[in-house]
Amino acid sequence: MAQVRAALATRFLSGHGIEIGALDCPLPLPPGVSARYVDRASVTELHRLYPELAESKLVEPDLIEDGERLPGVASGSLDFIVANHMLEHCENPLGTMRTHLDRVRPGGVLFYAVPNKRHCFDVQRPLTEFAHLRADDLDGGVASRWNHYLEWARLVNAITDPSAAERNAWENLHNGYSIHFHVWDGRTFRQFLNSARDYLQRTFAVRHFRASGSEIIAILQREV
């Protein structure tokens, strides 16, 4: 998939943009293309938040802020935004897309990749329906937050004891552990994009869509 990502970057990316949440796997950029890196914390703090990446070399963020809201990035100031394996971590994916579309210029590109739930640890979890995402857009995901953490404890961490599952969910919520709040496969992620296009008033077009193996990639372009 790294080769696929690099080929798509060469095909669709130009100018200057940002990559959100690159961690240990930044997107290779073609010659003449540049990016700043955005994450929610410094490398030191990211190592604490993601102990499974303790031995990995992480990208040092140029900008430390919320990648879902991007308060420090001006409207229409970017040629592209890369956010690989980020949308599933967003409590409000529709709100995130709305923000990202605002931050790129007309004709700008959003480069998204999400995991295919059928080929990762989300395999036992139910697929996210668009009605759920609409509700999350109304309240930022607050009402559904606890159930997501509890589902993670039960179906990803495989904790069968109800009390133990609740303890695990509360611990992860308290620590701000970034779980997968939403889950898609190739079919439902394409449906999500189609519905999101109408919901967001046709502010983007899908330029490329690929569901192959463990990863789903979508290239969106802001309407001119």
Cα separation, 84 vs 204, whole angstroms: 18
Q: Which domains does the chain have, with CATH numbers?
A: 2-116+181-222 (3.40.50.150), 130-175 (no CATH)
Task: Give the pLDDT score at 87.
Answer: 98
> Mean pLDDT in each 10-residue stretch from start to end of the chain (224 residues)?
93 98 96 97 90 90 96 97 97 98 98 97 97 97 97 98 98 93 98 97 96 94 94
Of residues 121, 53, 134, the one with CA closest to residue 92:
134
- The enclosing H or E element of 197 equals helix 186-199
List the structure tokens of 139: 């309240």
Task: Give the pLDDT score at 154.
Answer: 98
What secondary structure does DSSP assign to 66-81, as a single string? -TTT-TTS-TT-EEEE
Task: Give the pLDDT score at 29.
Answer: 97
Report the alpha-carbon angle 192-194-198, nearest 5.
110
Task: Give the pLDDT score at 108.
Answer: 98
Task: Give the pLDDT score at 95.
Answer: 98
List the structure tokens of 179: 């779980």
**Which residues pair with residue 104 across a beta bridge?**
78
Task: Give the pLDDT score at 53.
Answer: 86
Distance of CA 138 to the CA centre of its chain: 19
Task: Give the pLDDT score at 212.
Answer: 83
Task: Give the pLDDT score at 213.
Answer: 85
